[in-house]
Chain A
Amino acid sequence: DTGVSQDPRHKITKRGQNVTFRCDPISEHNRLYWYRQTLGQGPEFLTYFQNEAQLEKSRLLSDRFSAERPKGSFSTLEIQRTEQGDSAMYLCASSLPDTQYFGPGTRLTVL
């Protein structure tokens, strides 16, 4: 399978803990995106990388959130001091200049 992959698929954590998610994009895609989706809503943009440069960040991305793409390949999204409101599906997508292809997502539950 040469699509976008995400790990883990599910994460349950306690409030106040830190969590980190990984995304591996389609190999030839230089653009990578993170979105968050809550139940019954469409995905909301969080941040965008072109190669290793983080070029766009949403207001939704508070200072507890940090994303990296150190070598322009895989990316990580870390949430520090998780809150119950962080419970959501975190989606990664990758693209060439045009269509964004999504991974299966990481479902985060904060207890």
Chain B
Amino acid sequence: EDQVTQSPEALRLQEGESSSLNCSYTVSGLRGLFWYRQDPGKGPEFLFTLYSAGEEKEKERLKATLTKKESFLHITAPKPEDSATYLCAVQGRAAGNKLTFGGGTRVLVKP
């Protein structure tokens, strides 16, 4: 069974203080690893898809990287509007089409 663990559970940052979120996973053949952002009371918003170890993707202040066992989401010089819960999910070859999510990391960026 695919499993995803995210750490830390919560992160408080000062504006401009860069940090990284971790997503550790076990999966029977990775089809894709996905990062989403979720604001309170809303659905997850797609950020990135990573397919193979060594792959990196960037969008504004966010950069996602992937190894064979984990993924990192780096937040560079965050702003208060980056405050959200960041969700990591995997899609495994043996698990059909479903996504298996971690519990998320709640990020609060204070001005």
A residues near B, CB below 8 A?
A: 4, 6, 31, 33, 35, 40-45, 48, 50, 55-56, 58, 91, 98-105, 107
Contact = CB atoms under 8 A, between A and B. Distances in A.
Interface in B27-83: 32, 34, 36, 41-46, 49
B99 interface: yes
Contacts of B41: 105, 107
Contact of B97 (A35, A56, A91, A104): A56
Contacts, number: 62
Interface residues of B, number: 23
A45 B42 contact: no
A93 to B, nearest CB: 8
Contacts of B43: 4, 6, 91, 102-105
Contact of A99 (B6, B42, B46): B46
Contacts of B32: 98-99
| A31, A98, A100, A102 — most chain B CB neighbours (10 Å) | A100
Contacts of A41: 103-104
B87 interface: yes
Contacts of A98: 32, 49
B97 A33 contact: yes
Contacts of B87: 42-43
